[in-house]
Structure 1
């Protein structure tokens, strides 16, 4: 047992630059507190790092970059909503802020929070202050700290395990919340907002220290001066419910109840994480391991012990190697468990048996179990917006205002309207229909329903290619290919990100696209539909123009050789990549593959449109485009977020139909 109240400091290598920034920040105050008062459009590099802890990223709109001119600086603000809960007033405030300060949209994140994009620096303080005053928070939504604590979003009132999961998601969020006064000093001029009282057990647990988990006489008793080596992600779930993608989390608690449906304790999983870097084999996606079981009375001490282990032994030199997954991978589960037990002061018990994990999205109408209903609404890529006849933002605002409904955000970028009286059902359905919103999940493309994409371009500075703007057309192309091959009833989990950091969790998808250069993606295959198995990279660089040519052989093989009721991900995993590649190498297109146009430079300044012929030799059909036409085509494609090939096909088809 560790007797000292001062945790060990084993890392002797030179710490990264960010560690120095955190140390100099005076517990997250500077230089943000100084620079927020300056009449500038952006923050310094040092302030940007600290600003993340307050829930905001500095970005620039890359669509608006002009050589020689200042970047179009703007800010993304992210909320922290444990278990995805959003009260009425907070939602209405966020909707108003999106209209007044943002880009007129809200985006549901994959961690059950909201993001607002497009906020200017001069409006940042007003926006965050308004969120705090509406019972919301952005503190710890970003940065080297515990992020939003996830939980299953379904508001089942007659299933106590779900209520326990929401409750403990809130309690863990309280336990791991930063204690610095910097947040309220900067955004509310020192006035702490009225908020719900913390659970007394959580307060006592945070202050408790007999095994070296906290720093005495520190403004941050759990985190200390340097906070965590990198971000730390938690979830709480119930047996069998993997709506939270539990294997992708740093730490997951699984509620274990007795026959009286009272909490007895928790199974613990740790060491999941998906971020990686192209070309850096030492970075990788990893599934969480089962660590053990802890009784209810010791759960907060166990969480602190895991946090302290990562805090004190995580890599603070190489930020690419700083997540908990690398510590566990380096040490092994047994050594990690042993260190956690030292901080805990007692051994962990063996994990309790659990049922198989299943993924659910809870879309459509459901009984809550208390006489009321809830409605899960699909939000494509999480983007709540008004666009043409589709006016989801207006519909939600009117529903929340008229019926005073709270909501829960889902880990799949969707949302759930809660506590709907049965007599309100038809009126709400009619209101949604009036604004072009389809509440029936069976009326939505199943590929779209189970897909996710990150924002990527134009606002994410890490993106190397498109994601949110391009994925609708990609899904449409896959759907057309499935129909053409007689697989129209098939669907699978498709996820896309614009870079390898994996914010939309593509490495847990049956078909994952990971940005690897302009209009180019890694293709990942073989995860399962319930998100319990990692995908593996199948193609390093897939130009999007070659999508159909690469997918058709895989899908034909799937159709010919699948087992009864076998999913595409399970098929790829069972058959193996060697067999997939062997079948593909011998596959002859039988005229089913529609040529996909690729635009090339012929070396003489003219641009060519070439088609992949539907033959094994893949002969190319060439069409020359004049330079002015190509330039207009490229500009139009970028403005609409579509591939140039798609626009060319649409234009030619429209022309030929008119002949």
Structure 2
């Protein structure tokens, strides 16, 4: 497919990708040198291999070398982590990382603190343990999300299978060879092995408008995508995956026997934005239509190809698919998709039930004779005695983990006879009631922010527990028992999806935050910004008049709905009443 006409040549970043030899150089050349860090060009290619270069900003000293280290992110479709893989990354975190693991909001594990000289051993061990970091970062399809619960009922198995299939379908072909060359010396036995149906659809990446023109990388081409790309699958009514924030969101319908029939398709969501750049914004996805199950994989790769060809490659801030759809409209998008990339019917959307933010905490029946238990993990950080206890449970009972978009951990495949002993071990770890964490903490999210994220302008993860305690104290003081959905980030890029929260705190300077209000408990509406630079110390006096008005009104509706019903002028007046 011929891309849109551009008025200038490729940008430096686009040229870097084109010259990399399908993501090999200059990373390969620099991997073996003795420098403690990679150059900027190698860092950009390293992202496609699942790693970011960082430095510990707590240790920065003027005139001194930065404390360079690498963050690794795994590829875990639908959040699945087999016992063998978990035990491997747990040990790697202790031996080569900072001793912690972190569950991300995309259902994957991150590992922090890996030195450059240990990077090959760490990634190589992950691959040899049947894991992968390929395409966990970079201008490519990221980890594919799906409900983490291992239910054998309804459409859950089909949704998990579709997420796996999409992950394999959108895995880069030539880049996979580069990945194995760098990290396991070209050992091909670790290649991604798609199912027969996926291989059949993947073969069509070399046909028609979907073909990039690059025989080695037929879908992506030598410059891959303009920016990152995110896909999620779910079942009707389950919004654990924050569906409307995805580039592609699929709601999979199944018959009573669990056989997939087709999916409602949403396109063009995304959270990232930049302060003081009004041309950048958070956006929820638009409904595209309903597509039969047999054509869904073709549809997904067709949408990727459309974004490959029409996404903005001149301005990276404007390169996500959400801007393409915002600028041209979903009707243009549908028309272009069907005229050049996808020949099958796109029908009207099927009716869906009211959605809920599911979290699966506590004990649940997985299947006959099997159970799983959801453990709350605030901010997804696994460390200390909790990390040691989790390893002991996984190692003793060979339990599979499932990671949730809410940064929690599900321990799966627990036999009925094992329940009592696992309950006792969880209680010894201080987890006696996993189904009942503190109400505000239950769905709260924060990004890592300082000290490791280079984009952070202020704190998030390290201060969230205190922020929640303060808000809890304020709600208790006002006699409010209804929980509020809180999310917090150290910059505007939106990694913890704060723009969907009822109260979103978005870092705008040291100890300063934008205040976003009006999202919903089920993640169905975008919040709006109300204050640009609220000092964190003024959180309580700022929010108290608004929360008090909600309490006086009876608190029957959610806090986010109350904000929207009051209207902007009334809310602004209450925020400044202090």
Distance 1:131 1:218 in 2: 29
**Does the 8 A contact of 2:268 with 2:285 survive in 1?**
yes
Q: Secondary structure at the match of 2:110?
A: strand
Aligned equivalent of 2:296, options 277, 287, 299:
299
Aligned to 1:361: 359
Structure 1 match to 2:234: 237
**Alignment of 1:325 onto 2:354:** no
Give 1:313's aligned residue.
Answer: 310
Question: Which residue of the partner structure matches residue 420 of structure 2?
Answer: 426
Q: 2:551 aligns with which of 559, 565, 584?
A: 559
Structure 1: 5+ residue runs without aligned partners?
Answer: 1-5, 588-615, 617-659
Match in the other structure for 1:502 = 494
Structure-2 residue corresponding to 1:201: 197
Q: Are 2:442 and 1:449 aligned?
A: yes
Match of 2:178 in 1: 182
Alignment partner for residue 156 of structure 1, among 139, 151, 158?
A: 151
Q: In structure 1, what is the Cα distance between the partners aligned to 2:296 and 2:7?
A: 31
Relative to structure 1, is the Cα distance of residues 217 and 248 closer, same or farther in structure 2, using a 3 angstrom cutoff? Answer: closer
Are 1:110 and 1:413, in contact at CA under 8 Å, matched by a contact in 2? yes
Q: Displacement of 1:202 after TM fit?
A: 1.1
Whole-Å separation in 1 of the counterparts to 2:320 and 2:192: 31
- Please tell me whether the aligned partners of residues 83 and 150 of structure 1 are also in contact (alpha carbons under 8 angstroms): yes
Note if 1:542 corresponds to 2:537. Answer: no
Contact 1:147–1:232 (8 Å) recurs in 2: yes
Equivalents in 1 of 2:427, 2:357: separation in Å? 28
Q: Does 1:415 align with 2:409?
A: yes
User: Shift of the alpha carbon at 1:13?
Assistant: 3.5
Task: Give secondary structure in 1 for the equivalent of 2:509.
Answer: coil
Contact 2:73/2:108, CA 8 A, preserved across alignment: yes
Give the SS at the match of 1:102: coil
Q: SS of the residue aligned with 1:412?
A: coil
What SS is found at the alignment partner of 2:208?
Answer: coil
Question: Secondary structure in 2 aligned to 1:178?
Answer: coil
> Following the alignment from structure 2 to structure 1, what is the Cα–Cα distance between the partners of residues 8 and 320?
17
Match of 2:274 among 271, 274, 277: 277
**In 1, Cα distance between equivalents of 2:413 and 2:170:** 29
| Structure 2 residue aligned with 1:103 | 98
Q: Where does residue 607 of structure 1 map in the other structure?
A: none
Q: Which of 524, 529, 551 does residue 516 from structure 2 map onto?
A: 524
Matched ranges for 1:29-48 at <5 A? 29-48=24-43
Partner of 2:50: 55
User: Is residue 563 of structure 2 the alignment partner of residue 572 of structure 1?
Assistant: yes
Instruction: Give the equivalent residue in structure 1 for 2:265.
Output: 268
Residues 1:584 and 1:233: Cα distance change in structure 2 (over 3 Å): closer
Contact 2:143/2:231, CA 8 A, preserved across alignment: yes
Give the CA deviation at 1:351: 1.6
Contact 1:464–1:498 under 8 Å retained in 2: yes
Residues 135, 534 of structure 1: alpha-carbon distance in 2 compared, 3 angstrom cutoff? same
Question: Secondary structure, in 3 states, of the residue corresponding to 1:441?
Answer: coil
- 2:457 match: 464
- Structure 1, residues 161-185: CA drift from partner, whole Å, max 9, x if none? 1000000000000010011210000
**Which of 464, 468, 471 is equivalent to 1:475?**
468
Matches within 5 A, 1:593-612: none
Please report how far the alpha carbon of residue 18 of structure 1 lies from its aligned counterpart in structure 2 after TM superposition.
Answer: 1.2
- Partners of 2:364 and 2:512 in 1: how far apart? 40
Instruction: Name the residue aligned to 2:110.
Output: 115
Provide the C-alpha distance between the structure 2 equivalents of 1:320 and 1:9, rounded to a whole number of angstroms. Answer: 18
Quote how far apart the aligned CAs of 1:435 are. Answer: 2.4
1:556-583 deviation digits (Å, cap 9, x = unpaired): 111112463x111111111122111234
Alpha-carbon contact 1:149-1:173 (below 8 Å) kept: yes
Contact 1:441 1:449 in 2 (8 A): no
Separation (CA, whole Å) in 2 of partners of 1:350 and 1:211:
26
TM superposition score normalised by structure 2: 0.97
Determine if contact 1:380/1:448 at 8 Å carries over to the other structure.
yes
In the TM superposition, residue 439 of structure 1 has moved relative to its aligned partner by 4.2
Q: Deviations over 1:494-530 (max 9, x none)?
A: 0000000000000011100000000000010000000
1:198/1:281 Cα in 2 relative to 1: closer, same or farther (>3 Å)?
Answer: same
For residue 247 of structure 2, the aligned residue among 246, 250, 253 is 250
Q: 1:376 aligns with which of 360, 374, 380?
A: 374
1:644-659 equivalences under 5 Å are: none
Partner deviation per Cα, 1:606-644 (whole Å, 9 max, x = no partner): xxxxxxxxxx6xxxxxxxxxxxxxxxxxxxxxxxxxxxx
- Structure 1 residues 72 and 426: alpha-carbon distance in aligned structure 2, compared to 1, 3 A threshold: same
> What's the offset of the Cα at 1:297?
1.8
Show CA shifts across 1:276-303 (max 9, x none): 0000000000000110111122112111
Counterpart residue number, 1:345: 343
Shift of 1:356: 1.4
Correspondence 1:169 to 2:163: yes
Q: Is the 8 A contact 1:521 1:542 kept in 2?
A: yes
Contiguous gaps of at least 5 residues in structure 2? none
Q: Provide the rounded CA distance (Å) in 2 between the counterparts of 1:207 and 1:9.
A: 25
Contact 2:543 / 2:575 at 8 angstroms: preserved in 1?
no
Deviations 1:417-441 (A, max 9, x none): 1111122112112112222334423
Query: Do the aligned partners of 2:242 and 2:523 also contact (CA within 8 Å) in 1?
Result: yes
Q: TM-score, normalised by structure 1?
A: 0.85
Q: Which has the larger radius of gyration?
A: 1
Work out the CA distance in 1 between the residues paired with 2:255 and 2:416: 32
Q: Deviations over 1:350-408 (max 9, x none)?
A: 1211111111111001111322111000011000001xxxx110111010011011011
Q: Secondary structure at the match of 1:11?
A: coil
Matched, 1:219 2:213: no
Provide the aligned C-alpha RMSD in A: 1.3
- d(CA) in 1 for partners of 2:484, 2:322: 27
- How far apart are the structure 2 equivalents of 1:531 and 1:408? 21
How far apart, in 2, do the equivalents of 1:573 and 1:156 lie? 36
Distance in 1 of aligned mates of 2:555 and 2:438 = 24
Distance 1:428 1:382 in 2: 21
Matches of 2:553 and 2:49 in 1, distance apart? 52
